[in-house]
Amino acid sequence: MIRIAVVEDLEDEARQLTKCIEQYGREKNEVFAVERFSDGLAFMEGYEPRYDIIFMDINMPLMSGLSAAKRLRVVDPSVCLIFVTQMAQYALNGYEVGASDYILKPVTYGSFALRFDRAVASAKGRQHHAVLLKTQSGLSRIDTNSICYVEVNKHLVVYHTVNGDLESWESLKSVEEKLGPLAGSRFVRCNNCFLVNLHYVNKIDGDTLWVGDSQLKISRARRKGFLNALTVFFETGG
């Protein structure tokens, strides 16, 4: 399921956009969960990165779409953002905040479907390459490519990423379930406490493994499986 937010202050415009989403879903056999927000301020208050695609009007009361997008990118830098506006020159400013595309009003299904095709493809790819975790500060969505390794201590899991560490209350098994097919091929346990992204392995010496600047231990029980997975990973180009 793809989760969509429609941020639009005008009822008729929001209804038309929702109708286009529903028609696309029927034609393409896709399932969408759509939430509507009447202004940028309401959307950003308590925002959590659970959406795959966001349609945002630029001219709104209380907080403009551009202002909301700047705040959005602080907490969700990679979500697919599409501006909806009457004036193309305003939409071009959206690329400064990482907008993926824009749609001109009045929204017609033909122009919508063309742009929505790309957004849906991007959202599906992002779902495949991202995991959602609950931290003390709320929900965070992180790209799997940025994870160097995952460490567990009882039920506290630490995601060591290229952008810093994130903590979440879960198990290493639940992390592997989130990673899906990447677990066991790209992400492999070197012992019962560490799940390693093989891309970041740069050295092995005896039972010591270097992941970036971190040194981890390879257990005797995991050694053969880990080395086999590492060999396959690099022989196939990751």
DSSP annotation of 130 reads E
39 and 68 share one domain? yes
135 and 85 share one domain? no
Secondary structure in 3-state letters for 160-203: EECCEEEEEECCHHHHHHHHHHHECCCEEEEECCEEEEHHHEEE
The tokens describing 180, both together, are: 């899906």
Burial per residue of 29-61, b for 16 or more beta-carbon CB atoms within 10 angstroms, e otherwise: eeebebebbbbbbbbbeebebebbbbbbbbebe
The pLDDT score that the predictor gives to residue 131 is 82
Q: In terms of residue numbers, what domain contains 230? A: 130-235
Q: What is the pLDDT of residues 146-183, one digit of tens each?
A: 899 999 988 899 999 887 898 999 999 999 988 887 88
Domain count of the chain? Answer: 2
Cα–Cα distance, 85 to 64 (Å, whole number): 11
Average pLDDT, whole number, for the chain? Answer: 88
- Report the CATH number that the domain containing residue 143 is assigned in CATH: 2.40.50.1020
10 and 105 share one domain? yes
The pLDDT score that the predictor gives to residue 128 is 62
Question: Chain centroid to CA 48: how far?
Answer: 12
Q: End-to-end CA distance of the chain: give it in Å, rounded.
A: 28
- Report the CATH number that the domain containing residue 99 is assigned in CATH: 3.40.50.2300
Cβ(150)–Cβ(202) under 8 Å?
A: no
- Residue 221 to residues 40, 154, 207: CA-CA distances in angstroms? 53, 20, 11
119 and 217 share one domain? no
Q: What is the pLDDT of residues 57-75, one digit of tens each?
A: 988 888 888 899 888 887 7
55 and 110 share one domain? yes
* 47-56, 186-195, 209-218: least confidently modelled range: 47-56
139 and 198 share one domain? yes
The pLDDT score that the predictor gives to residue 228 is 92
26 and 121 share one domain? yes
Half-sphere exposure of 78 (CA within 13 A, CB side): 16
Q: What is the pLDDT of residues 2-33, one digit of tens each?
A: 899 999 999 999 999 999 999 999 999 999 99
121 and 27 share one domain? yes
pTM to 2 decimals?
Answer: 0.62
Cα-based angle 133, 203, 215 (whole degrees, multiple of 5): 55
